């Protein structure tokens, strides 16, 4: 997995890592999509802060 550098709070970084771990262990596509969407929200939040 490539390293993503984000300017977000440490809580968001931990949350993002947690979602990625859940994404790897997801049992179903619905579960994987949910974690993917949650992780994507954190990335979008980081982009908005940088602008």
Whether 19 is in a domain gets the answer: yes
Q: How many residues does the chain have?
A: 51
pLDDT at 50: 75
CA distance 36 to 30: 10
Average model confidence (pLDDT) for the chain? 86
Whether 2 is in a domain gets the answer: no
Range of the domain at 20: 10-50
Whether 39 is in a domain gets the answer: yes
Whether 25 is in a domain gets the answer: yes
Whether 17 is in a domain gets the answer: yes
Whether 1 is in a domain gets the answer: no
Whether residue 5 has pLDDT greater than 70: no
| pLDDT tens per residue, range 23-34 | 999 999 999 999
Whether residue 6 has pLDDT greater than 70: no
- For residue 7, give the 3-state DSSP assignment: coil
0.85 cut: is pTM over it? no
* Total domains, the chain: 1
Whether 20 is in a domain gets the answer: yes
């Amino acid at each position: 997995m490539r390293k993503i550098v984000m300017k977000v709070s440490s809580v968001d970084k931990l949350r993002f890592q947690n979602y990625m771990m859940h994404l790897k262990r997801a049992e179903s596509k619905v579960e994987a999509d949910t974690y993917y969407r949650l992780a994507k929200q954190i990335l979008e939040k980081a982009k908005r802060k940088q602008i």
